Structure 1
């Protein structure tokens, strides 16, 4: 990427709306409620119609100004279904009215599934909303962290929602399952349990942590790679499985990058960040994962009533995340797999004394995982070359 290309801001193609700021679960690994930034305490629970209208206008304005072919609006929280069907319907209609017809508008929603029922799914069918559900594995795995405030596990209720979502009537809405990696869970057991719900895709997320507050089980000894060990077991099961039973975005992105293609995950690769967040009070913020680093780390000081998304593109934090390899630490820039790893998820690079100019706290894990995947792909390519007929 040339310096000229790096200096050109990439427009936002994903807008995440925090339509409800509270949750009906009390997960102890939640990046919204259990980490450094506690700004949710001072925000309204539900996004008002005025803020929805402001946000819709900004989405439409941005799409038109940049002649975007596609833009994605994602309803999020907290738990977005707590906003209620009426508010969600209002938001979907407002955004659709605001986006120019020349831009393809896609809707997404991420939910814990507890409130997902036919009423919501019929509404989502009407608007074409893709629905993702969070589940960390079988009951003993999921319920270790994803619990109600009174300590009850959520697995049974989530399973009911997934059965409904994968039914013939609603299958077209099903975008996949989000699963947070937990070293205490059996990786293959988790993967095979998730497969029972026939997900079109699985997102395996590393638990949020950084150099100041390391993730669970991340040893000081960087020669140890517990998260890579966990992910490799899933990768080998997935890679050898029949027709790759589902898509796993992290693995597919690494393979794509190894072959010279793009990434679809901000956790790997050097792609420019194209996601912006709007909170329930209309504040424009960077990605949610920054809330795990320091109070106010995601803030931009901008608001949809007064500022455009182009104003957000000028924010130093967002510009930094669009600078590509030049924004990475010297260690990362010298690394042989930098174009694949990309420095890792931005929030995972944080250290209190120097900010984000560090490798990811998972650097040893990412190095081992990428090398392992590369080895499997190269071996397959070599076998493919052997069986191809000679051109002569």
Structure 2
């Protein structure tokens, strides 16, 4: 039985004011963004709001999340953000909880924009890659200028008392050229309520940086293990780290809340700026058209996407994984890894993640650390 969607990613603006060298939208296999409207038209916003409410009513959902994404969503301007918030809130049935978040590169978070987001109750997640050097190496303006100083100023504004409740957290891409502890502590200096680390997008046919065919090498797992130790060994809680929290939850028998890890069914649907429906848009890193469903908000209910073969595969749990994954002792924690990272040309997505060895390294490291502590606690009670 398909699981209904609960998170809707709206591509409010299809272009970006940064030129990040690892961007899966503009720098990898798919170029479909070129033919889409820059800004999602108001009529597309309204129809999307109607479809969200229709889906909520059909499945009696108590709560949904809407994520404003891009490109850079704040390029659409304050009026576009206001329109989305109003349209979705007005369309939803009474009593349904709505969480609206904007995922931004932070360069447009001036005082005026923050005033608007505060008035609308829109939470803010900011993409920032660790140290100033790491950020400016990868996340630059088109003219080559680094973006760290601009984003750091925005984060200072976001941390002001009147805006603090909007601060959803930081999102960082792992960079093997960065010292892991230095990167973590640089992010921590911005006082995020939580943060997350993403593995660079790649697959078996186009491997990510530093990921060779030698599965004895685990550079990303080692990097993450160093960050985990710094986070876990802190004398007091400093921030949440989503990846580590999800691994811990899965190790202790809980369900994951992210596609990055675990076996919980995918419940995310993307609406592009032209109203077309797509699977998780990071699939664009695999090949042209990998995220396409052939559906749109004008002609199709969201339930039509629930029966798409690729979405069904991503809701299939262990049965939808490669044989090697099904045999693995950590499969219920790793979940086969992030779906886009499993792709191999000619073999599709039914493969272990290209990060298989790295995932095994970080999950087994967390298991060993927590297991040792639980054993000590048990011994102390006996």
Is TM-score (shorter-chain normalized) higher than 0.5?
A: yes
Q: What does 1:80-159 correspond to in 2, within 5 Å?
A: 80-159=73-152
Instruction: Specify the SS of the correspondent of 1:332.
Output: helix
TM-score normalised by the chain length of structure 2: 0.99
Between the aligned partners of 2:314 and 2:369, the Cα distance in structure 1 is 31
Q: CA deviation at 1:101?
A: 1.4
Instruction: Specify the SS of the correspondent of 1:74.
Output: strand
Structure 2 partner of 1:262: 255
Structure 2 partner of 1:72: 65
Between the aligned partners of 1:325 and 1:386, the Cα distance in structure 2 is 35
Q: CA deviation at 1:269?
A: 0.5
Q: CA deviation at 1:138?
A: 1.6
Aligned pairs, how many?
A: 382
In 2, are the aligned partners of 1:67 and 1:103 still within 8 Å (CA)? no
Instruction: Tell me whether 1:240 sits opposite 2:247 in the alignment.
Output: no
Q: CA deviation at 1:288?
A: 1.1
Please point out which of 184, 191, 200 is paired with 2:177: 184
Instruction: Tell me whether 1:279 sits opposite 2:272 in the alignment.
Output: yes
Please point out which of 208, 212, 224 is paired with 1:219: 212
Please point out which of 331, 338, 345 is paired with 1:338: 331
1:208-260 CA-to-partner distances (Å, cap 9, x unmatched) read: 00000000000221100000010011000000013231100110000110000
Instruction: Specify the SS of the correspondent of 2:137.
Output: coil
Between the aligned partners of 1:76 and 1:284, the Cα distance in structure 2 is 14
Instruction: Specify the SS of the correspondent of 1:123.
Output: helix
Structure 2 partner of 1:16: 9
Between the aligned partners of 1:366 and 1:203, the Cα distance in structure 2 is 15
Structure 2 stretches of 5 or more lacking a match?
none
Please point out which of 43, 59, 63 is paired with 2:36: 43
1:314-367 CA-to-partner distances (Å, cap 9, x unmatched) read: 111111111111110001011111001000000000001110010000000011
Between the aligned partners of 2:231 and 2:237, the Cα distance in structure 1 is 6
Q: CA deviation at 1:150?
A: 1.0
Please point out which of 28, 39, 52 is paired with 2:45: 52
Q: What does 1:269-348 correspond to in 2, within 5 Å?
A: 269-348=262-341
Between the aligned partners of 1:81 and 1:73, the Cα distance in structure 2 is 15
Between the aligned partners of 1:304 and 1:243, the Cα distance in structure 2 is 47
Between the aligned partners of 2:7 and 2:156, the Cα distance in structure 1 is 28
Between the aligned partners of 1:103 and 1:29, the Cα distance in structure 2 is 37
TM-score normalised by the chain length of structure 1: 0.96
